[in-house]
Amino acid sequence: EVQLVESGGGLVQPGGSLRLSCAASGFTFSSYWMSWVRQAPGKGLEWVANINEDGGRKNYVDSVRGRFTISRDNAENSVYLQMDSLRAEDTAVYYCARGGSHSLWGQGTLVTVSS
């Protein structure tokens, strides 16, 4: 089955860190750019970061650049998002998505930043 499954979300205090994972299956993972997209409670969608097929190119939205790091392991068919210096405004459901047009999405994982 073609799918993406996110994990790693949870409750973290402001200033803390969290690492999200996204496991891919059912398609040739190493052939696709991969993105992280987030959605704050009751709000719209916001693209966070993406990474190219071999991990050599990465792009970030300004609000997370320098705090979040995207990476991938093609041997494990997984993409990751290391989130440091978390803020309350990072509270959201985080989705991983495939390709530039986001043709496949996972179910999401909730990150709550609160004291």
Chain residues that interact with another protein, rule: CB under 8 A: 35, 44-47, 50, 59, 61-62, 95, 100-108
Nearer to another protein, 38 or 72 (CB): 38
Nearer to another protein, 16 or 45 (CB): 45
How far is residue 42 from each of residues 1, 45, 103, 109, measured CA to CA in Å? 30, 10, 23, 15
| 30 contacts: CB under 8 Å, gap ≥ 6 | 53, 54, 74
Nearer to another protein, 82 or 110 (CB): 110
Residue 38 CB, shortest distance to another protein, in Å, is 11
Residue 70 CB, shortest distance to another protein, in Å, is 13
Nearer to another protein, 63 or 85 (CB): 63
Residue 115 CB, shortest distance to another protein, in Å, is 26
How far is residue 63 from each of residues 24, 59, 68, 73, 90, measured CA to CA in Å? 27, 12, 9, 25, 9
Q: Is 22 left (phi over 0), alpha (psi -120 to 50) or beta?
A: beta
Residue 37 CB, shortest distance to another protein, in Å, is 8
